[in-house]
């Protein structure tokens, strides 16, 4: 159960995406409310019944918007944290719904017991809506990334010729007692491990790995070019060396023929990496 909660989950990284997904979640709540009319809603008779119920859509939409807005700057996100966020959203929505219902619809006296009922109602409705929200978002991102990855992979396969002649810059890496000079065309990738970075490059037609005491950001300052980019909080990659790409809901994974592990592209770097992969290969 704990391992499942620790599984990475894609969160919203743009304000536009947060706004759209929040509106969809709110509309979905309203549809549930008018179609199934749970918890005595069918016994509520008023000539403006559906108009009076519509603000619940705004309430849940606002709760989702605030919830996603609060986590936009978090770098690591997983299913466990997503579930906690959804509980917080339901809690906020229950408070807003309680005051709206008490003041404008039922006109009952404010009390903790009445709020508790409202919280349970929101929880009962929020669980299926949140489940649909999570699954639909996961499937949507998975399909989008897989489709894009397939398009880029086909393009890479159609033009496998290396462009080493374009990569003529010499990379000078200096850290503590380590000094490396690597041709840009020979640089493969770098992996961050706490205070160290493993740098992979080609030397004398062989793959070489050097462990350097340096932060990934400092290393990036020394090696970044039009082709060599950071693609993840722990990885730097030479995009010209990418031979294949696969997509999932979390983002993309890059494959280089020279190394036996794949390199992740986190969602925050997608807008930088994918267009460059499309442009670099003729």
Establish if 102 belongs to a structural domain: yes
**Domain end (from 121, 153, 185):** 153
Which of 106-115, 157-166, 252-261 ranks highest by mean pLDDT?
Answer: 252-261
3-state helix/strand/coil string of 89-122: HHHHHHHHHHHHHHHHHCCCCCCHHHHHHHHHHH
Domain of 127, in residue numbers = 15-153
- pLDDT interval class at 96 (50, 70, 90): very high
Same domain for 113 and 30?
A: yes
Asked if residues 91 and 64 have their Cβ atoms less than 8 Å apart, the reply is no
| 85 assigned to some structural domain | yes
Boundary residue ending a domain (153, 178, 213): 153
Pick the residue with more confidence: 3 or 124?
A: 124
Q: Does position 160 have pLDDT exceeding 70, yes or no?
A: no
pLDDT tens digits for range 27-65: 988 888 888 787 677 777 778 888 888 999 999 999 999
Q: CA 260, CA 79: separation in Å to the nearest integer?
A: 28
* CA-based radius of gyration for the chain: 25
Residues 196, 138: one domain? no
* Residue 28 in domain: yes
Question: CA 95, 97, 99, 101: dihedral to nearest 10 degrees?
Answer: -150
């Amino acid at each position: 159960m704990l391992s499942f909660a620790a599984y990475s989950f894609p969160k919203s990284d743009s304000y536009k995406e947060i706004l759209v997904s929040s509106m969809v979640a709110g509309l979905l709540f309203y549809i549930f409310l008018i179609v199934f009319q749970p918890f005595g809603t069918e016994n509520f008779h008023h000539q403006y019944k559906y108009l009076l119920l519509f603000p619940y859509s705004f309430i849940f939409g606002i709760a989702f918007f605030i919830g996603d807005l609060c986590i936009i700057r978090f770098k690591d996100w997983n299913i466990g944290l997503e579930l906690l966020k959804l509980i917080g959203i339901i809690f906020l929505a229950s408070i807003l719904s309680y005051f709206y219902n008490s003041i404008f619809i039922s006109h009952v006296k404010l009390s903790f017991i009445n709020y508790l009922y409202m919280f349970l109602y929101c929880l009962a409705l929020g669980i299926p809506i949140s489940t649909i929200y999570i699954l639909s978002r996961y499937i949507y991102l998975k399909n989008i990334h897989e489709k894009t990855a397939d398009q880029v992979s086909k393009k890479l396969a159609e033009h496998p010729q290396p462009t080493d002649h374009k990569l003529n810059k010499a990379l000078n890496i200096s850290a503590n007692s380590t000094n490396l000079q690597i041709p840009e065309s020979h640089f493969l990738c770098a992996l961050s491990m706490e205070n160290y970075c493993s740098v992979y490059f080609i030397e004398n037609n062989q793959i070489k790995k050097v462990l350097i005491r340096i932060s990934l950001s400092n290393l990036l300052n020394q090696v970044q070019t039009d082709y060599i980019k950071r693609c993840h909080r722990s990885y730097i990659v030479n995009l010209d060396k990418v031979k294949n790409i696969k997509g999932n809901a979390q983002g993309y994974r890059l494959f280089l023929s020279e190394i036996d592990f794949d390199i992740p592209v986190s969602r925050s770097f997608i807008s930088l990496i994918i267009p460059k992969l499309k442009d670099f290969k003729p």
